[in-house]
Amino acid sequence: MTIGGSDCSGGAGIQADIKTFSALGVYGTSVITAVTAQNASGVQAKHEVPVELVESQIQSIMSEASAKGITVDYAKTGMLYSSVMIETVAKQLKRHKIPFVVDPVMKAGSGGILLADNALNTLVKLLLPICVVVTPNVPEASFISGLEIRDKEDAKDAAVKIHELGASAVIIKGGHLAQETAAGKATDLIYDGEFEELSGEYIKPEKGKIIHGAGCSFSAALTAALAKGENLRHAAASAKKFVHGAIAGGEELSNMIVLNQARELRKNADRYFVLENVKAAVRKLKSIPDFKRLVPEVGTNIGMAIEGAESERDVAAVDGRIISAKEGIYAEAVDFGVSSHVARMILAMMALTGDKNRRSAINIKYSVQIIDACKRAGFVISSFEREHEPTGVKTMDWGVREAIKNLSSEGRQRRQQEVPDVIYDLGAVGKEPMTRIFGDTALEVASKVNKIMDALE
């Protein structure tokens, strides 16, 4: 159960919590304590929900859960604007004996006060002593503890002070620790009588941009992990990893980077799609009569990258290579990270053309007849001269760049946004000439190979 404010921009508050719960496989219920009108410019308006309605929301959820023989395993609190709201929520959480996480929301990331001046003492007095853990950022920890926090040692002092105020455990999030972030790290501090540091990469937003909803998503991810039965330290580590991925895959909304809580789900789904697509493409290649005529001496391979691929581990291909056999072609299993050659081709094409959809490629034999067949099939063709390859460069990075620069068809200038379907080279000393076919999916590439075979016939 998340108890907090609504963010109409969708980046923080109740909306971020529900998205996080869903992405992490727990069913989320919500109790709205306030409605805010906010966007990248700040909070334009806020209206607190009557406490009677907040009580009714909690009662509705708890009575339904009780009737179905289930429980609310965990709760978290977010925006609780007034003292009377804090009193109401604390009373209900105690009454129903729900373990909970306190995210002491005081200010929106885009600006705007979300906690009344006279409410902090109430939060400290009523919520800290009964929560499982409180998750302030550095400014919030400073307000609660009354201590100035300039570095990690100050943050430790603040954590001890907050623990002494009644919180069983404290996690001070490190995104505002300047000394740490300057070193490229985001270090969270856990204190429950003993310290533990959780350090990870700090994602620095571009100048003028802010990250919106990270605190809400962290506390929600922590709550989800605790609801699943993880201990506090494991839950904190998994929540930190989740938020880092959500920030890395975030969406830009004006000057805000809004977390993408579904990033890992989408990435895993895409990995499955890519794997199956390459397998289907291999089956299609096997079905093409005389395809082995196109297999070069070094063998061939077909691969496809996931969306937003960053390394060879994000590219699926045939383990080993596709080779000619007596009865056609032979291929081992398809997996990720098994072919650096085809992966470099694809990653170079995606990076250098800006065409993030051009995610697949195959290498085949070079001959004048094959290139003529590519022309008859209507493909955009370019080339590079392997013998001019500078030392110390990666062949495909340099080759794709040269091919794009040289891109022409019958002497005309390259059209805007035109990307080559075919890149070939004539080889060099000890280097076999090669033709490379590119496409959006492995199945599309296999279809292009089929067109080449038809044109050859």
Sign, Cα dihedral of 145, 146, 147, 149: positive
Rounded to whole angstroms, the Cα distance separating 155 from 368 reads 69
Give the pairing of strands 251-253 and 30-39.
unpaired
> Which tens digits make up the pLDDT trace of 417-428?
578 999 999 988
CATH class for the domain made up of 2-260: alpha beta
Contact by Cβ (8 Å): 21, 224: yes
Beta bridge partners of 190: 171, 196
According to the model, what pLDDT value does residue 40 have? 85
Helix axis angle for 152-164 and 138-145, nearest 10°, is 50
Residue 390's contacts (CB-CB under 8 Å, 6 or more residues apart) are 398
Q: Which strand (E) or helix (H) includes residue 149?
A: none
In angstroms, the CA 120 to CA 37 distance is 23
Question: Would the pTM count as exceeding 0.85?
Answer: no
Q: How many CB atoms lie within 10 A of CB 344?
A: 20
Cα–Cα distance, 90 to 54 (Å, whole number): 12
CA atoms within 13 A on the CB side of 264: 15
Q: How many helical (H) and strand (E) elements, i.e. helices and strands, does the chain have?
A: 14, 21
Whether the Cβ atoms of residue 356 and residue 307 lie closer than 8 Å to each other: yes
pLDDT at 111: 65
For residues 450 and 443, give the distance between their C-alpha atoms in angstroms, rounded to a whole number: 10
CA–CA distance, 159 with 162 (Å, rounded to integer): 5
Which residue, among 306, 308, 300, has the nearest Cα to 277 in the 3D structure?
306
Query: Encoding tokens for residue 279?
Result: 């397998």
Which residue type, as a one-letter code, is found at position 196?
Answer: E
Q: What is the pLDDT of residue 42?
A: 86
- For the four alpha carbons of 70, 73, 78 and 80, in that order, the dihedral sign comes to positive
- The listed CATH number (3.30.365.10, 3.40.225.10, 3.20.20.70, 3.30.450.20) that belongs to domain 266-456: 3.40.225.10
pLDDT in tens, 328-379: 789 999 999 999 999 999 999 999 887 789 999 999 999 999 999 999 999 9
Pairing of strands 133-134, 100-102: parallel
List the pLDDT tens digit at each of the 457 positions of the chain.
999 999 999 999 999 999 999 999 999 999 999 999 998 888 899 999 999 999 999 999 999 877 777 789 999 999 999 999 999 999 999 999 999 999 999 987 666 678 888 899 999 999 999 999 999 999 999 999 999 999 889 999 999 999 999 999 999 998 878 667 777 888 999 999 999 999 989 888 888 888 999 999 999 999 999 999 999 999 999 999 999 999 988 988 888 999 999 988 998 999 999 999 999 999 999 999 889 999 999 999 999 999 989 899 999 999 999 998 877 789 999 999 999 999 999 999 999 887 789 999 999 999 999 999 999 999 999 999 988 889 888 888 899 889 988 875 444 444 545 789 999 999 888 889 999 999 999 999 999 999 999 999 8
The answer to whether 384 and 403 have CB atoms below 8 angstroms apart is: yes
178, with CB counted inside 10 A (0-12, 13-18, 19+), is exposed
The domain locations on the chain are 2-260, 266-456
Q: At how many degrees (to 10) do helices 214-227 and 13-23 cross? A: 40
Residue 414 has what pLDDT?
45
Same CATH fold assignment for domains 2-260 and 266-456: no
